[in-house]
Structure 1
Amino acid sequence: MKKWNLIVDVEKCNGCFNCFLACKDEHVGNDFPGYAAEQPLHGHRWIDIRTFERGQVPMVDVSYLPTMCNQCDDAPCVRAGQGAVRKREDGIVLIDPDRARDRKELVDACPYGAVWWNEEKRLPQAWYFDAHLLDRGWKEPRCVQACGIGAMRSLQVEDTEMQRIVDAEELQVLHPEYGTRPRVYYKNLYHVTRCFIGGTVISQAGGVKDCISGATVVLHRGERRVAEARTDAFGEFRIDRLEPGSGSHTLEIAAPGHARELRAVELGSSIYLGTITLRPPAR
């Protein structure tokens, strides 16, 4: 059977909050019997936008991560709900607005923090893929419709087809170690989970400094060659998708007509090494 999935491209998301606002517009003040009670005006973020910063001035990378109910195939909230939360055949997770009343423990059942407590209604609530719209023939939830830059895609496909897309686009899920089998996937998640090493390479000869374009920058860890990059027209380089906290590395910088430079780097989080000066080889 075809099931619903959501793909979020972290690299495209610019933090405009349109998805957040579309969710608010759809659910605040609106009651959908059988699906959800109305969302409170304040306090709930069924779709939440988290901000992440990497690097150091002047090389800083700011990324935005939309998070929501992951529509897990092995959802802890479904197990804890004992009938108050159900997993539909199309993959969507629904918290029953009648059966879940006074079940505050369901908020804590979600390891992602995606279930919110409505104190006035005495209800746990979460984003449910706007199933009330899909059941009426809509082709996508409001958040996808509202995303003007295409950072969100919803797909209703067979599991085998979804796995093919996951492999082809190198998609990931949040916290795979939880074992919940989410149906919300992320593209370019390395902007949040990985770190980078960057710097600026210049030459200095005869009292003149200039950017070096096309210099080769190689990162080593022990005897292993980890990654390679080339400097751009401004002499800048960035080696990304590195494991945070991976310890001691050696950076080798080389350019024609210049002496090779070696730098020891201790990699904790993303780092900008500043200006690296290459000089003519010693005679």
Structure 2
Amino acid sequence: MKVFVIDVAKCNGCYGCQVSCKDEHCDNEWLPYAKIQPETGHFWMKINEKVMGSVPKVKMSYVATPCMHCENAPCMEATKNGSVYRREDGLVIIDPEKSKGQKQLVDACPYGAIYWNEKLQLPQKCTGCAHLVDEGKIPRCMDSCPTDAIKFGEEAELAELIGKAEVMKPELGLRPRVYYLNLPKNFVAGAVFDPIEDECLKDAKVTLTDVGKSKDYVATTDSFGDFWFKRLEAGTYALKVEKEGFCPFSMKSFEITESTNVGDIALNKMLD
């Protein structure tokens, strides 16, 4: 069975996959899999940008998002006449002839991967470049990726990567065949400084406690006084900063629902 494995950490936001998908489908009709993609409004391979944190502690991620080619595809259930089908290799296809007028398929996809072609009155989406796969080639998105962030192939061949990966919205139980490495997670970041000397404090010990799990994460500030805790789950956390010769700083429990910059933390020197 064919699968995609996408490593978000390798994506540099060049949009090559999105552009090449347009180049492949906007002026070409690849029957029996797809009719022409409109030049605007459709992104069968879409780069979703995510900005996390706040200045100056900011991270940017780019998540390439095609059709998930789900094993339990809700679009297959929503069709009126079997116009959505799964090929033997696992790629899910919307038949461009049978699906005419079936706009309900757009809302059936929880990933927002199906688009409505108003001119042709058709629901359309990523086909996995089935017309190229039939010729023993790879999808254009993978072929155009300069950082090797997108892989496509047999499930067995990519099993090692899949074992380290996750899927989007696993709680839906749709068993998507697009797997992700390094999906963006929350972080907590900040900086520590000496307010009297007005300088950054290096090698301060910062302890972040996941209150719900009673689990500690420990980091040390760098030359700029910065610290980062990455890939955190949402929850309640507490923070403590310590450095020899300085009074410790504690931040009582606070909720993390998204990446958070706790700001600049002043440590005051202990009195002699």
> TM-score under structure 2 normalisation?
0.92
Query: 2:7, 2:182 within 8 Å by CA — same for their partners in 1?
Result: yes
Q: Secondary structure at the match of 1:229?
A: strand
Equivalent residue number for residue 126 of structure 1 = 125
Paired residues in the alignment total 269
Q: Equivalents in 1 of 2:20, 2:210: separation in Å?
A: 46
Q: Name structure 2 gaps, 5 residues minimum.
A: none
Query: 1:218, 1:225 within 8 Å by CA — same for their partners in 2?
Result: no
Equivalent residue number for residue 34 of structure 1 = 32
Letter of the 1:7 counterpart: V
Q: Which moved further from structure 2: 217-226 or 19-28?
A: 217-226
Q: CA deviation at 1:144?
A: 0.8
Query: 1:95, 1:126 within 8 Å by CA — same for their partners in 2?
Result: yes
Q: Equivalents in 1 of 2:9, 2:205: separation in Å?
A: 26
**1:264 aligned to which of 226, 246, 252:** 252
Q: Equivalent pairs: percent with the same residue?
A: 39
Q: 1:55 to 1:265 in 2, by over 3 A?
A: farther
Letter of the 1:92 counterpart: L
Equivalent runs, 1:76-91 vs 2, <5 Å: 76-81=74-79, 82-91=81-90
Query: 1:5, 1:154 within 8 Å by CA — same for their partners in 2?
Result: yes
Equivalent residue number for residue 147 of structure 2 = 149
Equivalent residue number for residue 95 of structure 1 = 94
Q: Deviations over 1:131-168 (max 9, x none)?
A: 10011111x2100111112221112133xx6554322x
Equivalent runs, 1:4-153 vs 2, <5 Å: 4-81=2-79, 82-138=81-137, 140-153=138-151
Q: Equivalents in 1 of 2:189, 2:31: separation in Å?
A: 53
Q: Secondary structure at the match of 1:61?
A: strand
Q: CA deviation at 1:96?
A: 1.0
Q: 1:109 to 1:250 in 2, by over 3 A?
A: closer
Q: Which moved further from structure 2: 252-261 or 66-75?
A: 252-261
> TM-score under structure 1 normalisation?
0.88
Q: Secondary structure at the match of 1:208?
A: coil
Q: Deviations over 1:174-214 (max 9, x none)?
A: 1111111001111111x2xx32211111235xx42332222
Cα RMSD for the two superposed structures: 1.8
Runs of 4+ with deviation above 3 angstroms: 161-164
